[in-house]
Structure 1
């Protein structure tokens, strides 16, 4: 097989790798959102997270990583619908923000 025949396979493999990596990161974000909502007595609406933004950022070791910001919605007894965000660097959750009714926010940083 020559290089021209191998190129489509390499492209498909690259697309599959990107898709799998994004799916894994989304799963990490969703799992953290579920834990945060459960710990605060909130209901995670739609049982999903929505990708808000991609970007590049250096991690703690100085390597350039893909960052993702996911938004999620929740309901609480004192409010109709609230919003929160979970931030990932690579596939690692680095911060979670849950907005309050009074306009302030609670933050959870990894240990």
Structure 2
């Protein structure tokens, strides 16, 4: 096997790993966002989250992907508000849902 073929194979394996990891983290973020909406008595819309930013972050435990997802929710079934969840690796770093009645943002860690 030539060096070029080996590099191409490694690149393909890396892309497959990244794709699978991204799907898994998105599922976790969706589940956490949905539970947060339920606990605040708001409706989780579209049943999914959308990736808005992807960055790398160095930690003591090594290199991790930091992903910012957005999701939509509704207070009373009309109108759309946007919430955010930041995932560091497969762990939640921050979840933000703004509830206007309280006139401030609920920040959950």
**What's the TM-score once normalised by structure 2's chain length?**
0.85
Q: Provide the residue aligned with 2:19 in structure 1.
A: 19
Local SS of the residue matching 1:77:
coil
CA contact (8 A) 1:49 1:70 kept: yes
Structure 2 unmatched runs, 5+: none
Shift of 1:10: 1.6
Q: Which residue of 1 aligns with 2:72?
A: 73
Query: Normalised by the size of structure 1, how large is the TM-score?
Result: 0.84
Q: Which moved more, 1:67-76 or 1:7-16?
A: 7-16
Report if aligned partners of 2:43, 2:76 keep a CA contact under 8 Å in 1: no
Point out the more displaced range, 85-94 or 62-71.
62-71
Q: Which sections of structure 1, spanning at least 5 residues, go unmatched?
A: none
Provide the alpha-carbon RMSD of the alignment: 2.0
CA gap of 1:100–1:79, structure 2 versus 1, over 3 A, is: farther
